[in-house]
Amino acid sequence: MSARKRASMSETPAAAPPSLQTRSGARQRQMSLTPELVALCYRDEPDPGLDARLTPMEDEDYRALARDLDAQSGGAPLWVFAYGSLIWKPEFDPVESRRATAYGWHRAFSLKIDRWRGSRAAPGLMMALERGGRCDGVIYRLADGDRIAQIERLLRRELSSRETISTVRWMPVRTPEGPVSEGPANTNTNTNTNVNVLVLGFWLGSTGHDAVARLPLEEVARILARACGHVGSGAEYLYNTVLHLEAAGIHDRNLWRLQALVAEEIRSLYAQDGASTPLTGEAKAALQATPAIKVGAEKACDPV
């Protein structure tokens, strides 16, 4: 098995509990999408590289944007909003985390991808934040030291082209605990007065040729069950996102229904019963491998 395959599949927890329990302990839920089903979706795919229609980010682009964002923070503690893979695979070492809600935004699989967790032959979908509703996620506070370098590392994880710079912005969120250490000053007088802090958000609003109209969950499930790229499958991305949201006490009803639909789609594709599908020796070894996260130029990490 290739090192890349082990690195990708090891993101799926080997010892995921059969049921998930909220932090309050009041309810238990069992995921339909299992590590065994996720393992069926993996295939070795090459990295096709950046779309030729896009302008690649250069080192100075990352540095300049990191400096600008740090300056906009006014020296206040820097918080980042995580609603997808940043929850379970951040590219920084947070010193504090809290649950938070972004009002006026919701998570959606609204970006078509033919890289990362999709291919040219079988494109996948990536989550972004779209207008309307609310999104419950996690906010992470970055350490105060070497802030620009930390921001730059995060930007390299999220952005590949200059065309995507506009998807990075400051956004207001609320936390159940109340006010937190303030981020940059909120000068928007129309913002909800109950907002606790402004945080840095990524992929706010899907634009460009990769944006897709709102798709039915059944169609999203069909795509995710078939999509796989050089960092892993769409099913794996969904599995880890739902698993870690639930562990944080966040139940996203749409994603919960989606994981059940993806599980059903995978069973149909492979004619397998998810409850009794045994892991092959290779798949079991991959799922039990120590997680390996590549950063920097190799870009073996998910955006959002």
pLDDT in tens, 140-180: 999 888 889 989 999 998 888 888 788 898 889 999 876 66
Q: Identify which of 52, 149, 7 has the alpha carbon closest to the alpha carbon of residue 92.
A: 149
Would you state the pLDDT for residue 134? 95
The pLDDT of residue 77: 87
Identify any residues that bridge with 204 across adjacent strands, giving them in sequence order.
129
Structural domains for the chain = 3-298 (3.10.490.10)
For residues 131 and 105, the answer to whether their CB atoms sit within 8 Å is: yes
Query: Mind listing the pLDDT tens digit for each residue in 229-286?
Result: 999 999 999 999 999 999 999 999 999 999 999 999 999 998 754 443 443 444 344 3
In this model, does residue 304 exceed pLDDT 60?
yes
pLDDT tens sequence across 287-297: 343 232 222 22
What are 60's two structure tokens?
Answer: 């100075």
Percent of the chain with pLDDT over 90: 47
